[in-house]
Amino acid sequence: IEVKIISTKPIDGQKTGTSGLRKKTNIFMGEHYLANWVQSLFDSLGNEVKGKALGLGGDGRYFNKEAVQTILKLAAGAGVKKVYVGMNAIMATPAMSALIRGRKLYGGLIMSASHNPGGPKEDWGIKFNYSSGEPAPERITDAIYGYTTKISELKMADIPETDLSKIGTHSYGDFEVEVIDPVEDYLALLEEVFDFGMLRKFITRPDFSLTFDALHAVTGAYAGPILVDKLGASASAVRNGVPLEDFGGGHPDPNLTYAHELVELQWSDKATDFGAASDGDGDRNMILGNAFFITPSDSVAIIAANAQEAIPYFKTGLKGVARSMPTSEALDRVAEKEGLKCFEVPTGWKFFGNLMDAGLCSVCGEESFGTGADHVREKDGLWAVLAWLSILAYRNKDIAVGEKKVTVEDIAMEHWAKYGRNFFSRFDYEGVESDAANSMVEHLRAVQADSKPGTKFGDYELKTADEFSYTDPVDGSVASKQGLRFIFTDGSRIIFRLSGTGSSGATVRLYIEQYSADSSKHSQDAQAALAEIIKIALDISQLAKFTGREKPTVIT
């Protein structure tokens, strides 16, 4: 094949955030914007990628199909031997991780801005996953960024457009593109992890109902084949199940604000026993019962506590657990009682990969609706849904049809009674002016530096205040400035950090947590339980003064 050299110039700001590069779609559609980043990726991989195979797919958003063609030309130009592309450019993030691992690929590219809205006026994004299926570590993303600042040419193979609408193999000289079913490998892996027989038996019980809302995003392509065809859920159990380029105009973000259709259903008289949703690229999940919300921080703790009994993959026990720093310490309580190692890493899934590769962690999670395990190296929305369904199925296996079943709420209440409850909430202030957000962080650094252990904030006594920094126990790499923490003697925590996934402006995230062992308080509403400490957080940060915001955009 002929490779054309096209001259180009560096473009500012192509620095990867928490999870890949995200910008407004029209920026990515600008001349050479996407090509520059992808070429920089190949330049940073160098000879290593020559002759290797990659995966490619995305969440179905606008511009993905066009982007595939550009990426294929650059891959061929870089000497890649073969690319496996999901049909119609579809591939959920966890499915890509499974594909890379299962087929021993060198890596994979995922076209997604995850939970950010899609369409010509909204967001686009791209991320690279490496050989064990994990999000590219910072040493690679830093190298890519370095190349974007000095790039001068694109190496584009002269190959025709590949038809993505049909499964099949296309050869262009010694370069090959195989269009594959995006569900197959992933489903096969899930069948190894879970007891599909038990799940099917439970899901088809006449006294059990469920709703899965794909939010018109990528899990629409997976929910039908997995939940309906394999596990016997009724077709009407899947809502918004057709992936759309603009996700039907919504935010494909499974939380109480953006998944409001599902929330309204689950709090109505038509509520089903179990409700779940997933995000744009299928790595996030939200779990609901009948009029009951499971916080993601509790979800990972509850899954960890029940995994060995309910999920065959964990039958010999967990190797350890891990959570991101702002995630509540509910998981730590389980680890402590069950004698498991518990790791605390910075925000972003890339920090879990090393722990898993080293056999230190089986189940992990983030408060941001991310839950997963070491069957892949990404958080996995449908895995979390099947994990919860497995727990329900296991707990109900001896309860006859028509008798009172164990509900999602029962499982949470029992969990809290045993381990105590970590009340948790996150406030997001989206679209804040960057300078204002940075000034607030500077202010918080000053407060932190001045706050000595023992300082009183209302009724709370400070244990420590710091800026979170992490040294990877496996490779020794250090991630600093990962959020400001105020930790109190009763275990309560106030945490501030700025988002690294936005496409413009800044998003301030405030995380608040308070522990209670007293089960008479466990059915309290989280906002009510946390009211006092939320006031303290707003006061310490002077958030309203710096940002001009009286109220957050999203509360979870």
| Positions marked active-site | 114
Examine residue 324 and tell whether it contacts ligand VG1 (CB under 6 A): yes
Alpha helices in 320-433 (DSSP H): 330-338, 353-357, 381-395, 408-419
Among 185, 195, 283, 329, binds ligand VG1 (CB under 6 A): 283
**Residue 536 — φ and ψ, nearest 5°?**
-65, -40
Q: State which of positions 334-353 bind ligand VG1 (CB under 6 A).
A: 347-349
Residue 215, both tokens:
């939010």
Whole-angstrom Cα Rg for the chain:
23
Among 101, 239, 485, 509, binds ligand VG1 (CB under 6 A): 509
Stretch that binds Co ion, among 125-133, 277-285, 436-444, 504-512 (CB under 5 A): 277-285
Beta carbons within 8 Å of 343's beta carbon, 6+ residues apart: 320, 321, 322, 323, 355, 360, 361, 364, 473
Beta carbons within 8 Å of 285's beta carbon, 6+ residues apart: 254, 276, 277, 278, 279, 296, 299, 369, 370, 371, 381, 382, 384, 385
Minimum CB separation of residue 310 from ligand VG1 in Å reads: 25
* 246 vs 410 by CB, closer to ligand VG1: 246
Q: State which of positions 278-297 bind Co ion (CB under 5 A).
A: 279, 281, 283-284
324 binds, among Co ion, ligand VG1, none (CB under 5 to 8 A by kind): ligand VG1
Do the Cβ atoms of 56 and 71 come closer than 8 Å?
yes
Binding to ligand VG1 by CB under 6 A, coded x per residue (else -) over 350-389, reads ----------------x-x-x-------------------
- The closest alpha carbon to 509, from 462, 447, 443, 556, belongs to 556
Stretch that binds ligand VG1, among 200-208, 212-220, 331-339, 494-502 (CB under 6 A): 494-502
Helices H / strands E in the chain, number of each: 17, 27
End-to-end CA distance of the chain: 52
Stretch that binds Co ion, among 5-13, 112-120, 126-134, 221-229 (CB under 5 A): 112-120
Residues in the chain: 556
Examine residue 97 and tell whether it contacts ligand VG1 (CB under 6 A): no
Examine residue 499 and tell whether it contacts ligand VG1 (CB under 6 A): yes
Which of helix, strand or coil describes residue 462?
A: strand
* 79 vs 348 by CB, closer to ligand VG1: 348
Examine residue 273 and tell whether it contacts ligand VG1 (CB under 6 A): no
499 binds, among ligand VG1, Co ion, none (CB under 5 to 8 A by kind): ligand VG1
List residues near ligand VG1 by CB under 6 A: 18-19, 114-115, 279, 283-284, 324, 347-349, 366, 368, 370, 499-501, 509
- Would you tell me which residues interact with Co ion (CB under 5 A)? 114, 279, 281, 283-284
